[in-house]
Amino acid sequence: MSSLSGKSDEEISQLLDEYGIKHGPILESTRNLYKKKLSEAMTKKAKPSSSNKTYYREEQEEVEYITYQPPQLSIYDGSGDVTRRSKVTGADFAHDIRRSKLTDYRDEDIGYNNEPIISPARSSYQSSSRPGPSVSTSMQRGQSSPETSKSGGVPGWLRVLVFLIIAVFLYYVYTCMEPAEEIPLKSIQ
């Protein structure tokens, strides 16, 4: 990185434009100010016009967080969007862990089956019950079940369980609809 003092006025002006710094003419009274602004901008950004890249870097970092511990991020919102997940930063992690434990309780009671994201909730609930290898189990579950690329950890056993619940419920309803059999009618009463 060349020193700013050796730059001519034109070069300073060009650098200011590259960093997107609004400026006036480079005069004796303004040169020091612009040099200071340029040095600040250089320390903040490695390269000029790299704001887009930093944005992507943040996204990539957050993706790493997602693969590391998928369940908590998705539970926080209750929606399956990647964009929502990308907004959750590492700082929210501690909050998400506590929240996911609380929401897991509720999710199990309600039996909310519309979204597949609940399955990572259950995996985290399971992992929370075992304080020792909680991280490793969640990671293993994330790796063992690569069914959904977005959530990254939908356990197979949970899907089977949900399916069984629905199947039993449907069977119950079906038997109730049969007028010939009296047993289900008695069971209703």
Partner 1 sequence: MSSTSQKHKDFVAEPMGEKSVMALAGIGEVLGRRLEEKGFDKAYVVLGQFLVLKKDEELFREWLKDTCGANTKQQGDCYSCLREWCDSFL
Q: What angle do CA 115, 120, 121 make, to 5 degrees?
A: 85
Q: At what angle do helices 93-110 and 118-129 cross, to 10 degrees?
A: 110
| Shortest Å, Cβ 23 to partner 1 | 7
Compare residues 22 and 47 and give the one whose CB is closer to partner 1. Answer: 22
Compare residues 26 and 88 and give the one whose CB is closer to partner 1. Answer: 26
Q: Give SS3 for 168.
A: helix
CB atoms within 10 A of CB 103: 19
Give the Cα separation of 78 and 91 in Å (integer).
19
Give the Cα separation of 124 and 113 in Å (integer).
17
| Shortest Å, Cβ 1 to partner 1 | 22
Give the Cα separation of 188 and 183 in Å (integer).
9
Compare residues 30 and 126 and give the one whose CB is closer to partner 1. Answer: 30
Could you give the C-alpha distances from 70 to 1, 53, 148, 150, in angstroms and in order?
A: 40, 24, 11, 9
Which of the residues 24 through 43 are near partner 1 (CB under 8 A)? 24-25, 27, 29-30, 32-33, 36-37
Interface with partner 1: number of residues (CB under 8 A):
11
| Shortest Å, Cβ 26 to partner 1 | 10
Compare residues 40 and 181 and give the one whose CB is closer to partner 1. Answer: 40
**23 is an interface residue for partner 1 by CB under 8 A:** yes
Compare residues 37 and 87 and give the one whose CB is closer to partner 1. Answer: 37
Which of the residues 33 through 92 are near partner 1 (CB under 8 A)? 33, 36-37
Interaction site with partner 1 (CB under 8 A): 22-25, 27, 29-30, 32-33, 36-37
